[in-house]
Amino acid sequence: MTALLTIIVLVFILVAIWQMVKIFDLAQAKNENSQVATDKDNTINGYLMMGFLAFIYIITIVCFAKWGDLPLMSNSASEHGPTIDNLMIISMIIIFITQTITQFLLHYFAFKYKGEKGKKALFFADNNKLEAIWTIIPVIVLAGLIIYGLNTWINIMGVDESDDPLVIELYAQQFNWKARYGGADNTLGKANVRLIDIDRANILGLDEADPNAQDDVITTELHLPVGKPVLFKMRSQDVLHSAYMPHFRAQMNCVPGMITQFGFTPTVTTAEMRQTPEMIEKVANINNIRVEKSQKLIAEGGEALERYEFDYLLLCNKICGKSHYNMQMKIVVETQEEYDAWMKEQKEFKNSLVN
């Protein structure tokens, strides 16, 4: 808060100085010091506009050449992921084409029709045909994007219960995640934050009298069987969080006092994603950086950094407090056999309580 107040005070001081300079200039101004732009001023500004247009295009070309592979639009690991990626790519192409054309017209017209003595601007007070063109075209394009987006969203959110999806609760609290599985009956027991009892290790507030809660499994790591539809039920204990799983193109707010949901089918195991060329290159680059930093740390008497290994992550995508940046949970996508073996190692809720 102190820093914010300091910045505000400095801004006001700068504004005051600027106003004083303007007043001084006006007081000292002579008749011949007109502030009306000359032909030379207009010519300079016209060429500056064209120079800035060239700068925009050069920067765009450099960005495409260096980062144009769009890695986050080619490594989706869910069934609906490619559809989301296609929607994003189409949107970006439309935006790019529109931006290229409009920026050229804006800067070129500023250059071509710069002010010159004796030159009178020709303009139309109104032109129904032009107005119809630049109104109808955006309407058609935006309507197409909106309809495509709505259909995509409906298909994603319309989880088919007849597919017998694996039901998992994601429980958010500052600043960690818990996952709760429905157990053998794949049915989550009743829960309420008012039932939380730390002394009995009932950390999610499950109703101990509910038969469906007895075989629930609570974990700090999220395991998903590949190819199996998953339906997430989301709760928050304290503030607004957002469950974000980037590789699965999934995000949904976790709202205190209500249950939200999101579903998807994972299609790529963790082991398979680790073996993709893009991920191998990314991991190698990260570890090279860590090696360099580790050498400096060791020279200063510290410990070396651990080697990085790729894992899917569940992140919080809402600023929920001072440790928001570190609110994450590891996600493991594995075969059905590996998932079953892992589940057998977990404690059921009824066996995890402290008497």
**pLDDT value of position 193:** 86
- Decide: helix, strand or coil at residue 330: strand
State the chain's mean pLDDT as an integer.
87
Residues in the chain: 355
Domain ranges of the chain: 162-189+216-272+307-352
pTM: 0.75
Burial class (CB in 10 A: 0-12, 13-18, 19+), 110: middle
In whole angstroms, what is the distance from residue 173 CA to residue 111 CA?
56
Pairing of the two strands 166-173 and 230-236:
parallel
**C-alpha span between 43 and 259 (Å, rounded):** 62
Say yes or no to pLDDT of 71 above 60: no
Nearest-angstrom CA–CA distance, 229 and 164: 8
Q: What is the CATH number of domain 162-189+216-272+307-352?
A: 2.60.40.420
Confidence label for 284 from pLDDT (cuts 50, 70 and 90): very high
- Look at residue 340 and tell me whether its pLDDT is greater than 70: yes
Q: Are 229 and 78 in contact (CB under 8 A)?
A: no
Q: Could you give the CA distance from residue 248 to residue 80 in angstroms, rounded to a whole number?
A: 8
Predicted pLDDT of residue 22: 77
d(C-alpha 133, C-alpha 147), whole Å: 21
Cα angle 63, 66, 71; round to 5: 100
The backbone region for 321, taken as left when phi is positive above 0, alpha when psi lies in -120 to 50, beta otherwise, is left
Q: Which residues contact 314 (CB under 8 A, 6 or more apart)?
A: 170, 177, 222, 243, 244, 245, 328, 329, 330, 331
- List, for residues 73-131, the tens digit of each pLDDT value: 678 899 998 998 888 888 888 888 888 899 999 899 888 888 878 777 777 778 888 88
- Mean of pLDDT values over 27-37: 60
* 188-245 pLDDT tens trace: 989 888 888 887 888 888 888 889 888 899 999 999 999 999 999 999 999 999 999 9
Question: Above 80 in pLDDT, residue 337?
Answer: yes
- pLDDT tens per residue across span 117-147: 877 777 777 888 888 888 898 899 889 989 9
Residues 137-175: b if buried by 16+ CB within 10 A, e if exposed:
eeeeeeeeeeeeeeeeeeebeebeeeeebbbbbbbbbbb
| Cis amide leading into 12 (omega within 30) | no
CA gap 330, 224 in Å, rounded? 11
Per-residue pLDDT, 7: 83
The long-range contacts involving 71-75, CB below 8 angstroms and separated by at least 24 positions, are 71/278, 71/282, 72/246, 74/278, 75/247, 75/273, 75/276, 75/278, 75/279
- Pick the closest to residue 263 from 185, 183, 156, 171 (CA basis): 156
The residues near 322 (Cβ < 8 Å, ≥ 6 apart) are none
Residue 231 class from Cβ within 10 Å (0-12 exposed, 13-18 middle, 19+ buried)? buried
